[in-house]
């Protein structure tokens, strides 16, 4: 089962490496990792998405609490949280297919964030990002780059 673990840490050099090293040393997988400073400049919040049964998650939480710079560890899985995914998709289009690619992206409420003579960069709209773009879209563009980021925030 997927778990979201929030870790409040001291904002010091090497803390992220120690937390990530704890996972790799014990063979646990990190599915997603996000780090940001808090309103207090001396602390940062690390949000980790990992998978495991209750015994494994309990072990991870105990190990995280042993790290000196860790101030608080919370499993957010059972609490309300906001889950968002953002992406940036860079595509190459032939000049004759450019208008159709923009029209199809507009149907999916994607915003054009960059445009060049060889292609466009899109940010998908509010609907969830699909694993495979529609066949019509794949015929008129070739995918150059896809960057995805998931964000989970406690409410």
pLDDT tens track for 80-103: 766 666 778 888 888 888 888 888
CATH 3.30.70.1150 maps onto the chain at 84-154
What CATH class has 2-79? alpha beta
CATH 3.30.70.260 maps onto the chain at 2-79
Residues in contact with 55: Cβ distance below 8 Å, sequence separation at least 6, in sequence order: none
Q: Does domain 84-154 have CATH number 1.20.120.80?
A: no
pLDDT score of 45: 94
pTM above 0.75, yes or no: no
């Amino acid at each position: 089962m997927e778990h979201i673990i929030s870790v409040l840490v001291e904002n010091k050099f090497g803390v992220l490496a120690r937390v990530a090293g704890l996972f790799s040393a014990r063979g646990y997988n990190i599915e997603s990792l996000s780090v940001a400073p808090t309103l207090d400049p001396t602390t940062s919040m690390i949000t980790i998405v990992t998978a495991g049964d209750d015994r494994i998650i309990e072990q991870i939480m105990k190990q995280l609490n042993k790290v000196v710079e860790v101030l608080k560890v919370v499993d957010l899985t059972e609490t309300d949280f906001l889950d968002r995914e953002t992406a940036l998709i860079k595509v190459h289009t032939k000049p004759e297919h450019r208008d159709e690619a923009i029209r199809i992206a507009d149907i999916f409420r994607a915003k054009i964030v960059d445009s060049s003579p060889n292609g466009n960069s899109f940010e998908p709209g509010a609907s969830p990002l699909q694993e495979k773009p529609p066949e019509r879209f794949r015929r008129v563009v070739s995918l150059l780059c896809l960057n995805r980021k998931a964000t989970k925030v406690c409410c």
